[in-house]
Amino acid sequence: MAELPVCPESVRRRQEVRELCATSIRALTGQGELHFRGTELHRGHRRVPMPAPHLHPSFGRADVASFRGAGDGMALRLLHTDPALHRSLCPETTPSRLIFETLEQFRVESLAAGAWDGVRANLAHRFSRWSQEFVASGLTETVHGMLLFTVIQMCRARITAEPIPESTQDLIESTRFGLASVLGDQLPQLRRTRHSQSDFAVHALAVADVIGRRLEQAADADESDDTRRDDRAATFSLLFDFEPDENDTFATAASGHSRALGDGGDGYRVFTRAYDETRQITSLVRPELLRDFRLRLDVGIDDNRLNVRKLGRQLKTLLSEPDRDGWEGGRDEGYIDGRRLAQLVTSPTERRLFRAERTEPRNDATVTFLIDCSGSMKKFSEPVAVLVDVFARALELADARCEILGFTTTAWNGGRARRDWLRSGRPDDPGRLNEVRQLVFKDAETTWRRARPAIAGLLKDDLFKEGVDGEAVDWACSRMRDRGPGRRLLFVISDGSPLDGATALANDEFYLDHHLQVVVERHEDERAVEVYGLGVGLDLSPYYDRCRTLDLTHGTNSDVIADVLSMIAH
C-alpha cells in the first residue's frame, strides 16, 4: 500500500487568502457580488477585466502580499474609474491601448487615501514584483520590451510620486534619456490632473499615442515581414484583457474537504498499484481504425479553418527566450563602440557610435496536454483532438517540444482493485480503489507527422471511463521534469471534478478532489512546471489558479485557440 505526502494546509491557506482579498475588495467598493475564481475577479458569473498587466499575479509565483496588492489595485480601479467614459476614450490600436490602460491604473492607485498605508505598501510591493518578473522573462532584451518597460516605470514614478528603484534606473537609463524630450511636456501633467479622469485622459492619450507608434516601429524593426508583424501584434494583444467574456456563465466545479486526507493524518493512499498501466494508444487501437479516425480528424480541422502556421509563429514569439549571439555595431544607442571613436573626428555629426548585444530567439519550452478521458468527456473527444493536434503541429513549427497524454481507468467502479479490497475485509480508508490507465498519444521525441494516427486515437469511445486527476498531474509533471532546462507548461483538459465511484464510496466524496488540489499546489510551489486548467464547459478554479473555461459546443475555433494562447502570454 503506497503513500504520497500531501499538504492540505497550504491549499486551505491559498483559499483563505483569496477569500480575504475578495472581502477587502467588496468592503472598499461596496459591490457585494465580487469574488475570485482562481486569480481572476468575477462579478457573479462574469469575469471583470483588469487590463493593466501588473494586476495578474499567480500563487506559486507571487507571495501573499503581491496577491493582496493586485486585489487592492482592482478595488481602486472599480472605485475610481468610470467604465463608460473609459471605454469611450480608449485608443483602438493594441500598443496605445496597453499604455492608456496602464496609466489609468496608475492614476487610481495614486488616489489611495492617506490613511491607507497598508494599501499603498501592497500596491508598491505588487508593482515591484511585476517589474522583477518582467526583467526575468527576458522581455527587456527586445527593443519594444525595453521601451514598454521604461515608459511604465517613468509614468508610475511621476503619477504616484514614488521614486524608481536604483537598480531599475540603471537598466532603463539610456532608453529613459531618449524618451525624456518626447514626454517631457506630458509627464508633469499626469500627476496634476490625476483627480479628474477626463482631464487625465487628455495627457494619457498623448503619451499612449507617442509610445504606441514607437512600439509599432520597434516591432517593425524586429521583424520586416508583413505577416510576421501581424503575428507579433496579435501576440502582443494577449498580454492583457480587453473585454470581459460576455458568455462567462459556466458552472464552477464542486469542491470540498476530504475527511480521510485532512483529518486522518496518513495522507493520500493507493490500495494497490498491481493493475495500473501506462500504454501507448497504438497498442489499444487497431491501425485500420486509427486511419479512419485520422481522416475524420482532418475533416474537423479543415472545417474549423485554423491557421496552424500563424499559430506556430505566435507560439514562437511567446515561448522563445533571447540568446546572446555576439555584438551588433552602428547603433544610435547602447554601449560606446571604441572602434568607431575615430569617426567623431572625421564626421562630428555621426551618431552611430554605439553597439548592442545581438540576440537570437531560442526555444527550450516543453508543452504537455493532459486529457481527462473520463466518460463525460466522450462527447468532446473530437474538438479536444482538434485542439491538441493543431497545437502539437504549431509547437513543432515553433521549435518547442510537445506531449499529448491522457488518463482514465481500465474498469468502472473499481474493477480488480476493488475486488481485492473486498477480499481483504474492507479495511477503512483504503485510498484510491481502481485500476489507473495512463495513455501516451504523443511523446516529446516523436514528431507530429509520425504521431498523427496516434493523436486520432482520442476518438475511440471505449477509452473513456473514470478519472483520477491528481495522480495524472503528478505523472505528467514527472515526465516534464526529465526534459532538462526550459519553460515547462502543463495544460489539463477536463470537464469536471475527479471521479471514481469505488474510491468515493470507500473513503469520502472529496477524496480525489482534495488530492488534486494538493498536487497542483505542490507543483505551483516547486515552480518547476506551470500548471494550467482548461475547463470544458466548467470553471476549474477550485483546482487551478491559472485556468480558462472553453466553450467547445461549436468545435475548436479561433476563439478557443486565443484562450489558450492568452494563458501562455500571461
> What confidence tens digit (pLDDT) does each residue in 146-192 have?
888 999 999 999 999 999 988 888 889 888 888 888 888 889 999 99
Q: Has residue 361 got a pLDDT over 90?
A: no
For residue 229, the model assigns a pLDDT of: 47
Q: Has residue 226 got a pLDDT over 50?
A: no
Q: Measured between alpha carbons, how far is 176 from 148 in angstroms, rounded to an integer?
A: 11
Provide the b/e sequence for 277-315 (b: ≥16 CB within 10 Å): eeeebeeebeeeebeebbeebeebbeebebebebbbbbb
> How confident is the model over 57-116, as pLDDT tens digits?
754 444 677 888 999 999 999 999 998 899 899 988 878 888 999 999 999 999 987 778
Q: How many Cβ atoms are within 10 Å of 132's Cβ, its own excluded? A: 13
Indicate the length of the chain as a whole number. Answer: 570
For residue 360, the model assigns a pLDDT of: 66
Query: Among residues of the chain, what percentage have pLDDT more than 90?
Result: 44
Q: Coil, strand or helix: which one is 135?
A: helix
List all residues 6 or more positions away from 461 whose beta carbon is below 8 Å from its beta carbon: 378, 381
Q: Which residues share a beta bridge with 465? A: 374
- Which helix (H) or strand (E) covers residue 511, if one does? helix 511-526
Q: How many Cβ atoms are within 10 Å of 345's Cβ, its own excluded? A: 8
Arithmetic mean of pLDDT, 314-318: 87
Q: Coil, strand or helix: which one is 261?
A: helix
Q: Coil, strand or helix: which one is 529?
A: coil
Q: Has residue 219 got a pLDDT over 60?
A: no
- The cell numbers describing 75, all together, are 478595488
Q: Which of 12-16, 233-237, 428-432 has the highest mean pLDDT?
A: 428-432
Q: Measured between alpha carbons, how far is 303 from 285 in angstroms, rounded to an integer?
A: 25
Q: Has residue 484 got a pLDDT over 50?
A: yes
pLDDT band for position 336 (50/70/90)? confident
Q: Which residues share a beta bridge with 362? A: 321
- Candidates 472, 482, 490; CA nearest to 532 is 490
Q: Has residue 344 got a pLDDT over 90?
A: no
Q: Which backbone phi and psi does 326 adopt, to 5 degrees?
A: 85, -160
Q: Which of 199-213, 300-314, 323-337, 401-415 has the lowest mean pLDDT?
A: 323-337
Arithmetic mean of pLDDT, 257-274: 76
> How confident is the model over 367-426, as pLDDT tens digits?
999 999 999 999 999 999 999 999 999 999 999 999 999 999 999 989 999 999 999 999
Arithmetic mean of pLDDT, 284-300: 94
Q: Has residue 245 got a pLDDT over 80?
A: no
Q: Has residue 450 got a pLDDT over 80?
A: yes
| In the chain, domain spans | 49-239, 259-316+364-569, 322-361
Q: Measured between alpha carbons, how far is 407 from 135 in angstroms, rounded to an integer?
A: 37
- Candidates 49, 177, 195, 73; CA nearest to 122 is 73
More confident call, 301 vs 233: 301
Question: What secondary structure does DSSP assign to 450-479, as a single string?
Answer: HHHHHHGGGG-GGG-B-B-HHHHHHHHHHH
Q: What integer best gives the mean pLDDT of the chain?
A: 84
The dihedral through the CA atoms of 306, 308, 310, 314 has a sign that is positive
| Inter-residue contact 370 to 491 (CB < 8 Å) | yes
Q: How many CA atoms lie within 13 A of 221 on its CB side?
A: 11
More confident call, 459 vs 12: 459
Query: Among residues of the chain, what percentage have pLDDT more than 70?
Result: 84
The dihedral through the CA atoms of 86, 91, 93, 96 has a sign that is negative
For residue 15, the model assigns a pLDDT of: 72
**CA distances to 24, 138, 254 from 433, in Å:** 42, 46, 21
The dihedral through the CA atoms of 29, 35, 36, 40 has a sign that is negative
Provide the b/e sequence for 385-420 (b: ≥16 CB within 10 Å): bbbbbbbbbbbbbbbbbbbbbbbbbbbeebbebbeb
For residue 322, the model assigns a pLDDT of: 65
Q: Measured between alpha carbons, how far is 152 from 149 in angstroms, rounded to an integer?
A: 5
Side-by-side strand order, sheet with 366-372: 277-280, 436-442, 401-409, 366-372, 488-494, 530-536, 547-550
Q: Which fold has domain 259-316+364-569?
A: Rossmann fold (3.40.50)
Q: Coil, strand or helix: which one is 539?
A: strand
pLDDT band for position 258 (50/70/90)? confident
Q: Coil, strand or helix: which one is 170?
A: helix
Q: Which of 13-17, 90-94, 413-417, 518-522 has the lowest mean pLDDT?
A: 13-17
More confident call, 496 vs 407: 407
Q: Which of 38-52, 249-263, 340-354, 437-451 has the highest mean pLDDT?
A: 437-451
Q: Report the 3 state secondary structure along 317-358.
A: HHHCEEEEEEEEEEECCCEECHHHCCHHHHCCCCCCCEEEEE
Q: Measured between alpha carbons, how far is 321 from 309 in angstroms, rounded to an integer?
A: 20
pLDDT band for position 257 (50/70/90)? confident
Q: Coil, strand or helix: which one is 279?
A: strand
- Candidates 475, 296, 469; CA nearest to 374 is 469
Q: Measured between alpha carbons, how far is 362 from 360 in angstroms, rounded to an integer?
A: 6
pLDDT band for position 244 (50/70/90)? very low
| Inter-residue contact 92 to 115 (CB < 8 Å) | no
Q: Which backbone phi and psi does 401 adopt, to 5 degrees?
A: -85, 150
| Inter-residue contact 234 to 565 (CB < 8 Å) | no
For residue 58, the model assigns a pLDDT of: 57
- Candidates 185, 173, 181; CA nearest to 149 is 173
Nearest 5°: CA angle at 404, between 399 and 405? 150
Q: Which of 13-27, 123-137, 210-224, 364-378 has the lowest mean pLDDT?
A: 210-224
- Candidates 541, 497, 532, 522; CA nearest to 7 is 522
- Measured N-to-C along each axis, helices 8-29 and 64-80 cross at an angle, to the nearest 10 degrees, of 20
Q: Measured between alpha carbons, how far is 7 from 526 in angstroms, rounded to an integer?
A: 13
Q: Has residue 41 got a pLDDT over 80?
A: yes
Compute CA 417 distance to the chain's CA centroid, rounded to the nearest angstrom: 37
For residue 4, the model assigns a pLDDT of: 42
- The cell numbers describing 51, all together, are 487590463
| Inter-residue contact 523 to 58 (CB < 8 Å) | no
Q: Measured between alpha carbons, how far is 498 from 370 in angstroms, rounded to an integer?
A: 14
For residue 260, the model assigns a pLDDT of: 76
More confident call, 354 vs 560: 560
pLDDT band for position 342 (50/70/90)? low
Compute CA 89 distance to the chain's CA centroid, rounded to the nearest angstrom: 29
Compute CA 473 distance to the chain's CA centroid, rounded to the nearest angstrom: 17
